[in-house]
Amino acid sequence: MSFEVPANGTHIQVTELRNRPYEIRILVPEDFNGTFCILNYEGIKKLTEGTKKPTLEQTLEGSILIDFTPNRRGAYIFLVESKVSEIVSGSIGLVEKEAISQDLLVDSTIIILSGLAVTLVATVSKSMKSSRVVC
């Protein structure tokens, strides 16, 4: 998800999250200085009333990785506030940590089942060769 923050401004992005652990990768130039906030439903309501109450607030001084686990699924707002006097481009990447472990589990299961199938075929063919009756 690419974004552009105006000079000394704010970028707002709405994202749908499930209640799973995420790794949030924020890529910005090294000289970027600002703040990254995540607001849940309650935080969004407070923001419309003029109060900022983020679920997570992190100072950005260049690119950063953030671990975040939402307490419920739904819409979240990502805010990137710039304290730099020029327009800055960046990107936000989301990686579901459980999805990575599920992929590894599926791949491991496929490899193990393939190995068992090869072993079974080799054992059956070996036993068929030894059980042949020579006339």
pLDDT at 38: 92
pLDDT of residue 125: 82
pTM value is: 0.65
Domain residue spans in the chain? 2-96
Q: In the CATH scheme, what is the code of domain 2-96?
A: 2.60.120.380
Under a CB-based contact definition with an 8 Å cutoff, are residues 49 and 34 in contact?
Answer: no
Instruction: Please give the chain's pLDDT, 135 residues, in tens.
Output: 788 888 899 898 888 888 788 888 888 888 889 999 999 988 888 888 888 888 899 998 888 888 888 888 888 989 999 998 888 888 888 888 765 555 566 778 888 888 888 888 888 888 877 766 555
pLDDT for the residue numbered 99 = 56
Which residues touch 28 (CB under 8 Å, ≥6 apart)? 34, 60, 62, 63, 88, 90
